[in-house]
Every structure is written in structure tokens, then in C-alpha cells.
Amino acid sequence: MNIKRWTLTLAAALTASAAVGCSDELAGPRSDLRDARATWSRTGPASYEYVYHELCFCAIVEPVRITVTEDRVTAASFVETGEPLSEDQVSWMPTVDDLFDRLEDVLGQDPVQYSVDFDPDMGYPSEASVDISRQIADEEFSFTAYDLVPAQGGS
């Protein structure tokens, strides 16, 4: 192979390699999500309480204090009034692991807008804003998760 052909072949290979490396715009968010989940797995308690507030076209749009016992939602109440949610409503409430699963699912759908912040100490998603498709109305959502504390006597 002459030097000109070798140079062109090398240039083509480097260009293809760079294109493959940059083709996944969500590589950074996927890595951030994976790292945050690892932090949560390492530091997060199995039983905890936290406040969850979702903004979406959904049934409950007020902040809710969620109680999680051994990685299962066991109770929830409205923050402002303290009124408990019904058993059916409690079944819709997410654990922190559910939040991670939801965000991972969204990344698999190639969203047009995706922004997530994680708690710097425990790694749980503390704020997220997602729009999956510009062509679909009412599928976008955002949430905040805050005031997470281990349950009394819990792990």
C-alpha cells in the first residue's frame, strides 16, 4: 500500500472511530445515572422517608411524603395537610429505585429533553425534567425528591 492510500485509510478509520464515540449523545447521562445508582446502592437505606413532587398530567400533583420500608412503599401522605393517601394511591408512589428505573427507561426512548440532578451524598435523583417526544403532548414530566431521611430504627 502506498503512503497516500495508507494515510487516507488511517484518516477514514479515525473519522469512523470518532463518529462511533460521539454517536450516543446520552452516553454522559447514562453514565451519570449508572454512577448515581451505584452511590445509592452503596449509601441508601432500605427504609426511609422522602418528599416527592411530580409535575405532570397525572392524578396527584401535590408534594407527598412517602414512607419506604425494606424497599417497598408502605405509606404516603400529603405534605401540606398530612392527610394520608388511599391504599390505591400509595400503590402508585415510587421508591428511589423506581425513580432510577423510570429514568433509565426514558433514556432508552431517546428523549428530546433530559435533565437530572442527583443528591451529592446519597446519589438519589433529586430533580428531573424529561420530554420524550416533541410530537406527543402530555408525556413530559418533571419531579423533585428531597428531605430523604432514614426511617427511625431502619437500616
- The three cell numbers of residue 32 are 451519570
Q: Are strands 72-78 and 64-69 parallel, antiparallel or unpaired?
A: antiparallel
Q: What is the pLDDT of residues 132-155, one digit of tens each?
A: 876 656 557 899 999 999 987 655
Helix axes 27-43, 96-107, angle to 10 degrees: 170
pTM of the predicted model as reported, rounded to 2 decimal places:
0.77
Q: What is the pLDDT of residues 61-109, one digit of tens each?
A: 789 999 999 999 999 999 999 999 999 999 999 999 999 999 999 998 8
Distance set, CA 49 to CA 3, 90, 97, 144, 154 (Å): 66, 13, 13, 14, 10
- The three cell numbers of residue 151 are 426511617
pLDDT, residue 24, reads: 55
pLDDT mean over 97-125: 93
Q: Which residue has the cell 393517601?
A: 85
Banded pLDDT at 59 (limits 50, 70, 90): low
pLDDT, residue 72, reads: 96
Q: What are phi and psi of 41, to 5 degrees?
A: -60, -35
pLDDT, residue 6, reads: 35
pLDDT, residue 53, reads: 95
Collapsing DSSP states into helix, strand and coil, what is residue 140? coil
pLDDT, residue 29, reads: 85
- The three cell numbers of residue 10 are 488511517
The yes-or-no verdict on residue 27 having pLDDT over 80 is no
